[in-house]
Structures are given as structure tokens and as C-alpha cells.
Amino acid sequence: MHDQINELHQQIRTLKRWLFGTLGVIATAGLLAAANFQSTSEIIRTKKFEVMNDAGKAVVVITANANGGLMGVSTKDGKPVFAISTTAFGGGLGISNVEGRSVAALAADANGGVLGITNKDGKSVAGITTDATGFGFSITDKAGKSYASITSTPSGGVVSVSNPEGRSIVGIGADADGGRVDISDKNGKLVVQVATDTDGGLLRVQNKEETTIAIIAAAANGNGGVATLDRQGQITSEIP
């Protein structure tokens, strides 16, 4: 029994020497790895990264948001002027003036890309978008009212010009039969239309109630025709 106890103590001492030696090797390797990391590391992992100026203001911030990553750049006073981020639809880029107001934005949405330009007061003055039918471009005044737009439709392109009240008064576009020009009064009511139909050209004149009162058109036989109508839409004269 005594010999067995001595043999057990010997095994324990041997095990301790092996364990301490192994721990020493591990510790040494860890120190060497740490030194190597400090001198040659190419990856830094953190949840937030800030660059501060001498005044203690964060001028560059890199962090995560709900959709992915976000990087912001600020002035020396801490006003944000530039940002790159991820959104629910993809990427986004924003530019602000020195007062921190957004003046330009470029982003992805459900239909494609969006570019927006605003004035110093934050009012939208120009935009380029995509929608289900294609492309759209708009110009607005400083109050945000649309002055002109270029868009695409299933039939083709459309150009629209509006008055200071934001009502479309001239429209040029394509429809199922060809080209078309619409002219409206200051209230936005259509009064003149030049278009094409299956027989050729067509000029239509309407009164302020938008009732057609005169038509000049090409007929099916290739001849021209003129018709006048009363305010109820009844024909009053025809040539031929």
C-alpha cells in the first residue's frame, strides 16, 4: 500500500511539472502573438470608431445601424456634412451644408436609384427617380412647387411644364397613336390639344369647361375635315 501511495505522489509531481511547462509555453506563445499583432495587424474589430480633433469634436464616425454600416463626416464644429450608409433598399449617400442641412442625397429605393437636390432651406428643387415605368426628372421652385418634369410612361416619354401655382399648363408626350401636345389654361384645364390618331393629325379646341367646341382632323379617306360644336358637345357645322 505504501509503495502505491509513493507511486501516486510521483505521478502527481510529474503531472504538475508537465502542466506548468505547458502553461509556460502557452504564455510565451501568447506574448509573442500579442507583440506580433501590435506590429503587423491588418484588422481592427470594434462596434464604433471615432476620430476626434484637437477640440474634442468627433469629425469622423464609423458605426453600425439597423441596416448595416454607417460612416459620417463632420466639420470642425461637429456639424454633419457627409454620410454613407445602408438602407432597407441598399446604399445611401447624403451631403449637407455647413449648417447641417441636407442639400443632396443619392440612394436606392424599391424601383432603383434616387437623386435629390435641395436648396439651403431644405426645399427640394430637383430630383431624378425611377419608378415602375422607367425614369423621372423634376425641377421645382424654392417653395417646392413643380415647374417642369420629364418622365416615362408605358407609351413613351412625357414633358410637363407648370405655372407658379404648380399646375401643368403644357404637356408633350407619346400615347398609343403617336405624339401629343396638351395646352391648359392657368387653372390647369385642357383647352387645346394637338395629337395623332389612326387617320392622321388632329387639332382639338375646348372651352373653359373642357368641352370640345372645334376639331380639325384628317379623315379616314385621306381628306381634311373641320367641325364646330356647341357647349353641349353637339355638332353645329362640318366641312366637308
CATH code, domain with 186: 3.90.930.1
- Asked whether residue 140 is assigned to any structural domain, the reply reads no
Whether residues 76 and 150 share a domain: the answer is: no
Measured CA to CA in angstroms, residue 91 lies from 30, 67, 74, 85, 145 at distances of 41, 10, 20, 6, 28
- Average pLDDT over every residue of 215-240: 92
Whether residues 149 and 236 share a domain: the answer is: yes
Whether residues 159 and 149 share a domain: the answer is: yes
Q: What is the pLDDT of residues 93-138, one digit of tens each?
A: 999 998 888 899 999 988 889 999 998 888 888 999 887 777 888 9
Compute the mean pLDDT over every residue in the chain, rounded to the nearest whole number: 82
The b/e string for 74-109 (b: 16+ C-beta within 10 A; e otherwise) is: bbeeeebbebebbeeeeebebebbeeeebbebebbe
Provide the sign of the torsion angle of the four alpha carbons 184, 190, 191, 196, taken in this order: positive
- Asked whether residue 129 is assigned to any structural domain, the reply reads no
Which residue in 89, 126, 131 sits closest to 107, CA to CA? 89
Give the model's pLDDT for residue 175.
85
Whether residues 21 and 65 share a domain: the answer is: no
- Asked whether residue 138 is assigned to any structural domain, the reply reads no
Whether residues 150 and 237 share a domain: the answer is: yes
Residue written as grid cell 384645364? 189
Residue with the larger pLDDT of the pair 229 and 20: 229
Residue 96 belongs to what domain range?
Answer: 44-117
Give the model's pLDDT for residue 143.
77
Q: How many domains does the chain have?
A: 3
- Asked whether residue 230 is assigned to any structural domain, the reply reads yes
Whether residues 220 and 235 share a domain: the answer is: yes
Whether residues 150 and 225 share a domain: the answer is: yes
pTM over 0.85: no
Q: What is the pLDDT of residues 155-173, one digit of tens each?
A: 889 999 999 888 899 999 9
